[in-house]
Structure 1
Amino acid sequence: MTLLSRRSTLALVLGMAATPALAQIDTSRASAFIQAAGTELVGVINNTAMSADQRRSKVADILRRSVDIEGVARFVMGRFWRQASPQEQQEFLSLFEESLVKNLASRFGEYQGVRFEMGRSQSRTDDDALVSTIVTRPGSAAFNLDWRISDVGGQPRIVDLIAEGTSLRLTTRSEYASVIQRGNGQVSALITALRRQLGR
């Protein structure tokens, strides 16, 4: 399994897909959620006073608060989630969460100086809102990130993120499906690939 691109890695960590929405969320609440989560994450990335381990721990905390990890995992696994055994599901959840954190942590140096600007917010459907932002890094061109936000379990959560017109959850789902298909349709092939990627 190939690693995601640098831009995709950042986008995946800043925002991922979750489970379908349970209630409507207004645009002002969605925008405030992204403003708070994004500001906190960027602050950690740019905090050179922290050690790498401290930054990694802080990023993990932000991800757990902002992302429905199980919902993300179910979506990117697609139809293979139902095929997986309970043990495989739990191991995949653990590996997937660790992969999110490690992918960002490994690039902390490259992300120093990252900034984001809020754009407009608009209702996308009755169930979700789309919040636009612009992300910039020193020495790199700015790029657009559109965050799809819904109410999940009574709290705003990121349910998809579109980087320059590309849905990150669909990209990840396609990549994981390819790994499983190359492994004769076995979920264990993806788990093995994630273990290898994480150095286990």
Structure 2
Amino acid sequence: MRGMMRLKFFATSFSFVAALVLSLGLSMGRAEAASPAEQFIADNVQKAMGILNNTASSKEQKKTEFQNFLLGLTDIQSIGRYTLGQYRRSASPEDLTAFDAAFKDYAMSVYQSYFAKYSGQSLKVTGSNQLGANDIMVKTVTVDPKKPSAKPFEVNFRVQTVNGRMLVVDFSVEGVWIRELERNDFTSYLGQKNGDVKALVAMLKQKAAQQH
């Protein structure tokens, strides 16, 4: 039961961040020039706004464009496989392939179901920290113009260069890193299922179907 509650929290948080990346405006919060990673986040939000604001596109066309955009913005396979923890080593190649597909569909369905809930807000870049040679945390806060006195949410993005291009590999909402949270939930679930990745795949498919 606790694991399912955490999964529900993950879905809400995951979609919240997705909604921000995809459907919110962004303003740079510092006078000096943005770092490459900060500019990467800013530029991609602007691209997403172009997709959302295209009145010539149908709802289904926008969903397809969103999915293609997200797959280009995030290292979705790396995020998914990290969540398997120690069970990744014992999973068969076939099970890993099935998991990759199920995790991608699950993540995309969560994005698509919730992105509209946070329209009208803005995402403000406040700086960045170098976590490693190829690991940068871009710090942002949300701002709701309709509620200027409301406490802003802190949303941070981990950006890494993979095969020569920047990608988002993790993100946090109010200090909770989603990839780590999901790893804990998935490994707990797999522990109850004797490491059966097929069971996790089935569960993710069910969760994705519920979002449609």
Normalising by structure 2, report the TM-score. 0.77
- Residue 80 of structure 2 corresponds to residue 80 of structure 1: no
> Which structure would you say has the larger Rg?
2
Higher relative contact order (CA 8 A, sep 6+): 1
C-alpha distance in 1 between matches for 2:112 and 2:49 = 12
Query: What is the DSSP-based 3-state SS (H/G/I as helix, E as strand, rest coil) of the residue aligned with 1:91?
Result: helix
Aligned positions of 1:66-145 closer than 5 A: 66-136=73-143, 142-145=152-155
Which ranges of structure 1 fall in alignment gaps of 5 or more residues?
16-26
Larger mean CA deviation between 98-107 and 129-138 belongs to 129-138
Query: What is the DSSP-based 3-state SS (H/G/I as helix, E as strand, rest coil) of the residue aligned with 1:113?
Result: coil
Query: What is the DSSP-based 3-state SS (H/G/I as helix, E as strand, rest coil) of the residue aligned with 1:59?
Result: helix
Larger mean CA deviation between 122-131 and 87-96 belongs to 122-131
User: Residue 194 of structure 1 aligns with which residue?
Assistant: 204
Q: Percent identity, please.
A: 26
Query: What is the DSSP-based 3-state SS (H/G/I as helix, E as strand, rest coil) of the residue aligned with 1:78?
Result: coil
What displacement does 1:125 show? 2.3
User: Residue 180 of structure 1 aligns with which residue?
Assistant: 190
CA contact (8 A) 1:13 1:100 kept: no
C-alpha distance in 1 between matches for 2:166 and 2:102 = 24
What displacement does 1:10 show? 2.2
CA contact (8 A) 2:83 2:182 kept: yes
Change beyond 3 A, Cα 1:53–1:69: same
What displacement does 1:30 show? 0.9
- Which one has a larger percent helix, Structure 1 or Structure 2? 2
- Residue 18 of structure 2 corresponds to residue 8 of structure 1: no
Larger mean CA deviation between 119-128 and 89-98 belongs to 119-128
Which ranges of structure 2 fall in alignment gaps of 5 or more residues?
22-33
CA RMSD of aligned residues (A): 2.5
C-alpha distance in 2 between matches for 1:77 and 1:14 = 26
How many residues align? The count is 189
Larger mean CA deviation between 167-176 and 131-140 belongs to 131-140
Normalising by structure 1, report the TM-score. 0.81
